[in-house]
Chains A and B, each alone.
Chain A
Amino acid sequence: MRRLAANIAFLILAFAVQNCIFPFIPFLSAAPNLVLIMTFSYGFIYGPEEGSIYGFIAGLLMDLFYSSGAFGFFALFFMWIGYMNGRLSRYYYENFITLPLLLCTVNEFLYNSYVWVTRFFIRGKTDIVFYFLNIILPEIIISLLFTLLIYRFFLWYNRKLEDLDRRKAVG
C-alpha cells in the first residue's frame, strides 16, 4: 500500500514537472514524456495488474489537463500501455537496461501514433514524415535519455522500499 501511494505521488510529480518546467526551458526543443516513462516502467517492474492501474491514473491526469472534449482518451491508452508492458515483466531483470530503452522507443512511438491517428490523421493531416521528424523523433530521443535516469532511480528506490518492508516483517 505504501508503494502504491509513493508511486502515485511520483506519478503526479512527474506530470507536474513535465508540464510546468520542461516547456518553459527555452533552449529545449522537445520535452521528455515523463508520464509515459513512469507508466511503462511501473508496468514493466510490477506486472500487468499494477501497470494498468498506474496507467489509468496517469491517463486521468493527462485527461484533466487536455480538456478537449473526449475525457478518457488518454486514460484508455495509458492503461493499456501499463498492461502490455506488464506482460513483459517476466523478462524483468534488474541490471538489464537495454530492454527498458527498447520499450521506451516502442511506447513513445505507439503513444505518438495514437495521438497522430486520432487527432490529426482523421482530420486529413496525413504528412507522417513531417510529424515524425519534427515531433516524434525529438521526443523519443529525449525520452530515452530520461529513461536511463528515471529507470535507475526506480530500481534504487524500489530496493529501498523492499528493504523497509523486509525489516518490518522481521522486526
Chain B
Amino acid sequence: MGLTVKLSNSKLILIILSILCVVMIGATTVKDELLSPVRTAFGYFLEPVQSGVNRVGRSLYNNIKDREKLKTALEDNRKLEARINELLMENTRLEEDRFELDRLRALYELDRKYGQYRMVGARVIAKDAGGWFQVFRIDKGSADGIRADMNVMAGGGLVGIVTDVGANYATVRSIIDDVSRVSGMGMQSGDTCIVSGDLKLYEQGELKLSDITDTADIKEGDKIVTSTVSSKYLPGILIGYVKEIRTDPARLTRSGTLIPAADFGTLQEVLVVLDLKSEMHEKPTGAEAGISAGTVSGADEASAGGAGEEAGTGEDPGPADASESGAEDAAGSAGGAGDSAASAGSGASETAAAAEETAAAREDRREDTSSEARNEGRGADTAPEAREEGRGADTSPEARDEGRETEERVREPERPEPLEVRADEPAGNGEAAPSEEPFAEIVREDTQAAPETEPAEMVESPPAAP
C-alpha cells in the first residue's frame, strides 16, 4: 500500500502540500487563468455528478410539491377557468396596446437595446451551501458559447456575472455577493452610482447603493439600471429599485439601499446574455487615440491648478486627430436630425458655456468628462447604435470647445433629454466642484482597501483623475 510510505513522513507531506497550496494561492491571485485547464478537466468529471445529484434532489422536491398541489387542484381549476375568461378580454385590449408600445419602444433607446441582446437559458445546478458566498454554477459552458464576464439575468433583472467557464459548466457570481460591485445609473436621470452586494443587507433582501453625487437626481422608487460606463456589464439592464437614500456624513455623496429586481431566493433558471460588453466597442477607431489625449490633457489641467484659462490653452497642443474627429462627429450630427449624439454634444457645449462662471467648476467637469471619454469613447462612430456610447468622445475637451462655437446652431434641433441633465449637472452649481475630488478619492481608497475584488471590477468605479 502506498499509504505505508506516507505514514512514515506524514509531516513532510503536510508541509510540502501546505507550501504547494500557498504557492497556488499566490499564483492564482495574480493570474487567475493559470489553473483553468485543471478546473476544466475536473469540471468534465464533476459536472455530471453535480447535475445528476441536482436532478435527484429536484425531482424529490418536485414530487412533494406536486402532491401538495393536487390537494388544491380542483379549487384552483375553477378559479383558473374564470381567470381565463378575464384574460381573454384583457388580451384583446393588450394587443391594441402592443402596437402603441412598439412605437414607444422605438423611441426609447434603452429598451430597444435590451431586446437586442442574445440570450441563452441555463439551469442552476449548484449553489454555495454556506452563507458566505453567493456564487452558483450553471449547466452550460464554453460548448454553448458562454464565456467569462457574460451577464446573467433572471426575472427581468440582473443576477450576476460569469466568472469561470468550463466546457460544460460556468460559475456565476451574483450581484448579492459581498465582493460584487456593479456600476449603475438612475434610469430617468442617467446619474451614476455603485451597487454593491452586502451580506448584512442581503439578509433583508437589499443591496447597497453608494457613490451617488450630491446633486444626482436619484430618489426613492427609481429604477436603477446598469450603467453605460461599466466595463463588464451591458448598459440598461434593470438591477432594482431604490428603497431609501440618505446623505452620507461627509455630505458630499449619498448612499442607500436597493431592492433587486431578480428573486435570488428561488433561482433555478437563468438567462445568460451572450453579448459581451467588451466586444460592444471592439473596433479600434481614431477615437481611441483621442481618449488618451483626453486623459493626458485632463492630467495637465489638474496640475495647472484651478486657472481655467490656462488649462484651456494648455489643452491645445494635446489634441490628436482623433479628438478632432470626435469634434467633427459632434458638429456633423448636430447639423443632422435630432440624434442622441447631437443632443449630447450640444448638452456638453451648454455646460461649457455655463461653466465659465467658475474656473474650479470647469476644471472639475473637464476631468469628469475626460474620464468618461476614456470609458465610452471607444464606441464612437463604430456603428450607428454605438452613438450613445460615443457620447463620451463627443464631450472630450476638444469637442466641447468646438461645440461651443457651434452652440447657436446646435441648440435649435436639440430636445431636452436625460443626457443633457447629466452633462449639465456637475457644472450647474459651483459648490459641487470640490465635491467631485473627494468622491474620486473615496472610490480609489475603497478599491485599494479591497484586494479581494478582482482588478477588472475596480474599473467599475468611475475612474478618477489619472
Q: Which residues of A contact B (CB under 8 A)?
A: 1, 4, 12-13, 16-26, 30-34, 48-50, 52-53, 56, 59, 61, 64-73, 75-76, 79-80, 83, 112, 115-116, 119-120, 122-125, 127, 130-131, 134-135, 138-139
Contact = CB atoms under 8 A, between A and B. Distances in A.
Given A24-B54, A69-B454, A72-B20, A48 B266 contact: no
Nearest to B24: A72
Contact of B50 (A20, A70, A73): A20
Interface of B: 1-3, 6-7, 10, 13-14, 17-18, 20-25, 27-29, 32, 34-35, 39, 42-43, 46, 49-54, 56-58, 61, 124-133, 135-137, 163-164, 171, 173, 178-179, 199-200, 203, 265-266, 268, 449-452, 454
A1 B1 contact: yes
A25 B454 CA distance: 31
A93 B124 CA distance: 42
Complex A-B, nearest 10 residue pairs according to Cβ-Cβ distance, in ascending order: A72-B24, A21-B57, A23-B127, A135-B131, A31-B129, A76-B21, A67-B164, A20-B54, A72-B21, A49-B10
A24 B18 contact: no
B132 A115 contact: yes
A154 B121 CA distance: 40
A123 B449 contact: yes
A159 to B, nearest CB: 20
A20 B130 contact: no
A32 B200 CA distance: 21
Given A70-B28, A72-B21, A79-B14, A17 B53 contact: yes
Contacts of A66: 128, 133, 135
A65 B137 contact: yes
Contact of A16 (B22, B49, B178, B200): B49
Contacts, number: 172
- The SS class assigned to the B binding surface is helix
A24 B164 contact: no
- Among B2, B17, B27, chain A packs the most CB atoms within 10 A around the CB of B17
B29 to A, nearest CB: 5
Contacts of B53: 13, 16-17, 20-21
Contacts of B133: 66, 68
Contact of A71 (B24, B178, B265): B24
Contacts of B25: 70-73, 76
B28 A72 contact: yes
Given A13-B53, A48-B10, A69-B454, A80 B129 contact: no
Nearest to A74: B21
